Amino acid sequence: MSASRHRVVVTQRFFDEATIAYLEDNGCEVAIVDLAPGTADGDLSHDQLVHLLADADGWIVGHARVTRALLEALPRLQIISRRGVGYERVDLDAARDLGRVVAIGAGGNDASVADHTIGMMLAIAKRLRESQANMQAGKWSILTGSDLYEKTVGVIGLGRIGKSLVKRLGGFDARVLAVTADPDPAYAAATGVEYVDLDRLLAESDYISLHAPLTAETRYLINAEALARMKPGAILINAARGGLVQDADLLEALRSGHLAGAGLDVFVSESDPAFMEVTNALLALPNVVATPHAAASSREGLNRTNRIAAESVVAVLSGGEPAPGCVVADGRTGR
């Protein structure tokens, strides 16, 4: 590598050729880490990451934990750019203290996750998993499901993905209730969204979809108490973060028949293996539709987030600024 070129390490699968070419055309040498089948960068140890990133100027990362110790071991690393929008696995204070930039792929996967959420709602309401299993067993009797049309949908978290979901729900003539930290009266007037408190959303919603970040305040937001306050027969969707829902409590609410079903793209067991037994019990239920943290992983969505992550890397390594909304920590400025 010439002295004028920056080394960018990618610890993600499905990194497209067009984005690699973009990085190379902008003065970067790209190294794609060959992850073992069935593993992700979150499975790499501290020592493995240090070895892979020792001479990296930029890192395009998935779910690896970015700790203070790791950053201290990588003095050359200038930017950590997530191909995604969550950043709870990154020590932002350490990044600021050590002069690094942390960026996210803001806006790249909104449509993909919103589409996935609608798909889960329909799959559960129409009992698609149960119907196919019955047919495979030779039972062709009809299972009656329910509609999304004209139902009340509660959206918890009204950022980019939440708003993308609201746009799609308009095609179902759904009534939308929302809990958000930043109510926008103009947006509500334009879309018909009603801002409510959590108690009312739980009590009135036929479907509840989570799109909030995982913080100390939102951890286990949906627990046994909240589930008991949900409308009998409601459907819960979590395509945001494992840890927003206390999965053990959800399992009991589903087993009791209080809820009609759940669509789950994320699980507590992703960060706490002690919950794997609960996850497996949820997967075994006929009224649960599950995916392995894949809501954002459409070909189109991955290509968009690849490009946004790469653009942030190029901007920082050339002394510039990433696009608005992408920077979550900037140790160059202390923000």
The set of catalytic residues is 241, 270, 293
Angle subtended by helix axes 299-317 and 17-25, to nearest 10: 10
In degrees and rounded to multiples of 5, residue 291 shows phi and psi of -140, 155
The position carrying tokens 């969204």 is: 193
Measure the CA–CA gap between 148 and 261, rounded to whole angstroms: 14
Q: How far is the C-alpha of 36 from the C-alpha of 159, rounded, in Å?
A: 34
Give the strand order in the sheet containing 58-61.
Answer: 28-32, 6-10, 58-61, 79-82, 101-103, 327-330
Q: Round the CA-based radius of gyration of the chain to a whole number and report it.
A: 21
C-beta of residue 153 within 8 angstroms of C-beta of residue 174? yes
Kindly state the DSSP code that residue 258 receives in the 8-state scheme: S
d(CA 239, CA 114): 9
Q: How far apart are CA 179 and CA 155, in angstroms?
A: 6
Measured CA distances, 191 to 41, 111, 171, 172 (Å): 39, 17, 12, 13
Name which of 30, 31, 49 is nearest 41 in CA terms. Answer: 49
Q: Any residues with CB less than 8 A from the CB of 143 and at least 6 apart, and which?
A: 127, 130, 131, 134
Rounded CA separation 80/9 (Å): 10
CA distances from 303 to 135, 168, 214, 298, 299 (A): 37, 22, 25, 8, 6
